[in-house]
């Protein structure tokens, strides 16, 4: 009888990276591995990496270095490194020299090969496969792990935008849309295994389908997904403002399962900084999109990404960003200090902002957004909202937790039997991040 094999998957980065890690874990399950979080007793450790910021990459490199001690204790342990960090031009050789204890290296374009790479490493040989260009999308790649209440589903790969601070187009390749029939079938399979909510993923979902003939766009796809029986909710991420169409807003307004939440990255409120970032829109255009959303979907929530301290950002530029917090009325903002990313135009720009200035600006931005988030949630007090019950709260296991259609977290008391169902909650308490509710009979 063969020994039971265990796999630990460590994931860094965005939802796309998380989705890739789920696929790799599913491949290992088909190879006889059981998923675990116990590094000490793992037979295989997969590290799916991110390289959006150098600070994140340094953290990952430190973790890979720590794994060497486990390899010394257990020479039979296999270590596999995948993802964006490996895919960077010229990175593989540098990484192999730095971490010779790693058995398998793989980029972002050949996840479907992981089973074969695992078998090739059985001989003890080091294996490295990093395709410089993506080949045709392999729909034979196993689905993400089944049996989950919520699941991420890729609808496209790559990015064509080339923002001056971003490495993603260089490590994920150019945009390629999956066929709608393959996406629909994947979602139907997930629903059949118990999934109630899907999040459709792409670096820029709004440009989905532009490589199709005859025309078929993201709004068309959402209309089809909205019709899938037993699926309760549909979310999506991320929307590039320059490609968010009136048709898409109208489609969400008409849909029954399409959640009224838009993650619409602003990045900066200054037109001069937006131009330096190569974002391809102005603050005025961005606000016109927000106005259209508010007009058709007054109940919609907006979240955003903002970078402070981009090269050349003046105090006036930063003030323009602060003004956008009050105009956008964001439920939440993911805020970052600009940090250099080798291989991007912004890394070599002049007028790099000193770290103390970036820290000061970030604190000011966060304080303003925290107050905005708090005020928004205060306005929800006493009102009733539909919530998908996700399970026990992470911070208070005696209570249940779920999210509104606008993606705002609510904790409440209720029986375990309602997990996975839609319920109505009245909001009793409101903080900056979390709501407390009660079930409405």
Binding residue numbers for [4Fe-4S] cluster:
14, 50, 84, 159, 163, 166
| Strands 301-308, 332-337: pairing kind | parallel
Three-state secondary structure call for residue 132:
coil
Closest CA to 84 of 202, 198, 176, 169: 169
Angle, helix 283-296 to helix 246-254, in steps of 10 degrees: 20
Angle, helix 355-378 to helix 315-328, in steps of 10 degrees: 10
Q: Which residues pair with 7 in a beta bridge?
A: 35, 44
Concatenate the DSSP letters of all residues of 397-437 into one string. Answer: TTSEEEEETT--EEEE---GGGTTSEEEEEEEEE-SS-EEE
Residue ranges at the known binding site: 14, 50, 84, 159, 163, 166
Q: What is the distance between the alpha carbons of residues 143 and 178, in angstroms, rounded to a whole number? A: 14
Q: What is the distance between the alpha carbons of residues 72 and 241, in angstroms, rounded to a whole number? A: 49
CB of 39 closer than 8 Å to CB of 9 = no
Q: What is the distance between the alpha carbons of residues 393 and 401, in angstroms, rounded to a whole number? A: 5
**52 is written with which tokens?**
């959006």
Q: Which residues pair with 389 in a beta bridge?
A: 402
Three-state secondary structure call for residue 139:
coil
- Whose tokens are 């402070």? That residue is 308
Whole-Å CA distances, 104 to 131, 424, 439: 14, 48, 50
Q: Which residues pair with 322 in a beta bridge?
A: none
């Amino acid at each position: 009888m063969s020994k039971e094999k265990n796999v630990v998957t460590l994931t860094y980065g965005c939802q796309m990276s998380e989705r890739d890690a789920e696929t790799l874990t599913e491949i290992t399950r088909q190879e006889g591995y059981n998923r675990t979080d116990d590094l000490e007793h793992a037979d295989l450790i997969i590290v799916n990496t991110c390289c959006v910021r150098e600070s994140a990459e340094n953290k990952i490199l430190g973790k890979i270095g720590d794994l060497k001690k486990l390899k010394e204790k257990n020479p039979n342990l296999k270590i596999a490194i995948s993802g964006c960090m490996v895919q960077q031009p010229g990175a593989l050789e540098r990484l192999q020299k730095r971490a010779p204890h790693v058995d398998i290296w793989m980029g972002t374009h050949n996840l479907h090969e992981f089973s074969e790479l695992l078998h090739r490493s059985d001989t003890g040989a080091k294996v490295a496969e990093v395709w410089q260009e993506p080949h045709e999308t392999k729909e034979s790649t196993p689905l993400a792990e089944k049996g989950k209440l919520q699941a991420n589903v890729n609808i496209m790969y790559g990015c064509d935008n080339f923002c001056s601070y971003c490495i993603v187009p260089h490590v994920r390749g150019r945009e390629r849309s999956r066929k709608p029939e393959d996406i629909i079938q994947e979602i139907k399979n997930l629903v059949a295994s118990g999934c109630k909510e899907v999040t459709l993923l792409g670096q820029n979902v709004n440009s989905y389908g532009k490589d199709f003939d005859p025309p078929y766009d993201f709004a068309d796809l959402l209309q089809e997904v909205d019709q899938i029986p037993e699926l309760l909710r549909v979310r999506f991420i991320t929307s590039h403002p320059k490609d968010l169409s009136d048709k898409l807003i109208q489609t969400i307004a008409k849909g029954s399962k399409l959640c009224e939440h838009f993650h619409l990255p602003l990045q900066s409120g200054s037109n001069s900084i937006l131009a330096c970032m190569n974002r391809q829109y102005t603050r005025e255009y961005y606000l016109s999109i927000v106005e259209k959303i508010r007009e058709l979907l007054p109940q919609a929530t907006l979240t955003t990404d903002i970078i402070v301290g981009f090269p050349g950002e003046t105090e006036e530029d930063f003030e323009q960003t602060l003004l956008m917090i009050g105009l956008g009325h964001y439920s939440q903002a993911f805020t970052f200090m600009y940090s250099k990313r080798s291989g991007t135009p912004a890394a070599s720009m002049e007028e790099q902002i000193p770290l103390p200035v970036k820290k000061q600006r970030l604190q000011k931005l966060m304080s303003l957004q925290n107050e905005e988030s708090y005020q928004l949630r205060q306005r929800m007090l006493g009102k009733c909202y539909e919530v998908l019950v996700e399970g026990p709260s992470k911070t208070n296991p005696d209570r249940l937790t779920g999210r509104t259609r606008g993606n705002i977290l609510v904790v409440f008391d209720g029986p375990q039997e309602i997990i996975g169902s839609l319920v109505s909650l009245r909001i009793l308490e409101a903080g900056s991040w979390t709501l407390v509710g009660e079930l409405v009979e």
